[in-house]
Structure formats: structure tokens, C-alpha cells
Amino acid sequence: MAFVSFTESLSVGVGILDHQHTVLFETIDALYTAVRNGEPRALVGGLLHKMAEETHQHFLAEEAVMEAVHYPQLKAHRLRHCSLTTEVDEYVARFDRSTIPIDNYLLDFLVDWFTTHIRLVDQLYAPWMNMCGVR
């Protein structure tokens, strides 16, 4: 059973962004599975880096679409993204310096952040994007 998975209730109605959200959830789930199974630190670290990179790329793509359709809440949305990427980047750096392990706190934080962000923030842009023809 998956630790976390993207569900239809999280859809923002924009295919490429829903796909990216799905990939992010799959990567977080793979990271959870690796930690739970006691996989080597190198494998866990690789998944952590992959999740961080996918997060950065997704946020850039999402912001580019918002910019293209002149989404009025782009600035505030970008600030939320910046807050998460700063926190994730700091965690990755601490992990790389071997000062912290990947633990349930981080995994729960990521799941909660993405789920809450998609439900309460991302889904607000869906009507705007759909009205602008983005699906």
C-alpha cells in the first residue's frame, strides 16, 4: 500500500500540472518506501535529490503557465513555492552533510505541504487557467 498517492480530488484540471503532481507524489512515496525498508543512504539520498529537483522543476513550470495567463495571484503563489524550496534545500544540504537522516517528520511534512498546497492554493488557479483555455 502506498504511503501517499495523487488522487482525483487533488486534480487542478491542467493535465501537465496534474501529471507533475502525480510524479512528485510517486517520488515521495518511493522515498518513504526506501526509508521504511532501510535502503542504503546513497539510494535514499538519490531519491531525496530527485524529489527536490522535481519540486523545483514543477514550480518553475507551474509559475510559467501562471505567468502566461497573467494569473493575478502569481506573486503570492511564487512566495509560497520559495518558502518550500528553501526549506527542502536546507534539509537536503543537512542530509548531504550527514547531520540528519530522512525521517517520518520530513516525509509527513512533504505530504502535508503538497496536499494542503494543492487543495487550498493550486486549486484556486484552476478556474482562471481553464477560463484562459489551459487544460
Domains and CATH numbers, the chain: 14-131 (1.20.120.50)
pLDDT in tens, 93-102: 999 998 778 8
Other C-beta atoms closer than 10 Å to the C-beta of 6 total 22
Q: Is the pLDDT of residue 66 over 90?
A: yes
> pLDDT grade, residue 2 (50/70/90)?
confident
User: What are the helix (H) ranges across the chain?
Assistant: 15-36, 41-68, 74-96, 104-117, 123-131
Q: Long-range contacts made by residues 70-74, C-beta under 8 angstroms, separation at least 24?
A: 71/125, 71/128, 71/129, 72/128, 73/124, 73/125
pLDDT in tens, 109-135: 888 989 999 999 999 999 999 999 998
pLDDT in tens, 8-22: 999 999 999 999 999
Of the chain, the percentage scoring pLDDT greater than 90 comes to: 78
